[in-house]
Amino acid sequence: MGIFDVFKTDKKKFGTLHCFNTREWNTGHSVDIKGLTNFIKKQNKGKSNEEIFDLLAKRPGYRKFVDKNINGTLNKISCEKYFSDIPKDIDLLPKIDFFIYPKNFVDDVYKEVLAFKILDSNLSIQNDKIKKSKTKFLVILRIENQPKTGIHKKDVNFDNKIRHLAFQYVVLDKLEYNLLKPYEKTFKNLKGDAYAEAWDKGEMYNTIYGENGLFATEKRKKYPINYFQAYKAFEE
């Protein structure tokens, strides 16, 4: 029995997530949870959930995601709004449109939801300078299931769940891209069972995290990811 054989009729999804960029409180190795909690608590004091969502939407780096069931096994989580304080022409990271992932990962026994996608960028950093260059990124979406650590809703005057949501960006060299290329279309295939089958067999996951996968190379043991973005996601 695979992960897609259970609860096929359950409507599991995150719904709408309003995402607060935690960059200001990132120390490089961890997030200053106490400082972040105090800031959010002060901002949220005396406000309804709707007022909190309006405040979040005005913050630099704000993102709004909407998660929907698209069939009996998969969810599609889409970036509906994106507010960046970085000029568009120097934004190195590819814009997120959507990810698909197994819906049974939501609030199940799994620690987090994982989703993958290969995206393109026309910019790269070479010798500390931004240059026009076609670049392939593996983008990994991670959403915390059943929040237990970090910011608690009761600590910041919020009624619904607050999850940790993050993107990891891996700049793919030619060999790495060729390793993942067979799944490039699978990562965004909204029709059929190709994505479900790839997850069920474990082949897609193992190509990335297995003992002979992407992160098992000496290069990725030393430099696992190139960029990351971290958020606190407030459920609507």
pLDDT for the residue 84: 61
pTM of the shown model: 0.86
Q: What is the mean pLDDT of the chain?
A: 84
Whether the per-residue pLDDT at 77 is higher than 90: the answer is: yes
Mean pLDDT of 34-45: 87
Which of the four pLDDT bands, split at 50, 70 and 90, describes residue 168? Answer: very high
Sign of CA dihedral 20, 22, 23, 25: positive
Q: Decide: residue 196, CB within 10 A, 0-12 exposed, 13-18 middle, 19+ buried.
A: buried
Q: Over range 28-49, report the average pLDDT.
A: 84
pLDDT digits (tens, 9 = 90+) for 111-164: 889 999 999 988 776 766 777 778 899 999 999 876 666 677 777 888 888 888
**What per-residue confidence (pLDDT) applies to 147?**
66
Rg (CA), the chain: 18
Interstrand relation of 162-171 and 227-235 (parallel, antiparallel or unpaired): antiparallel
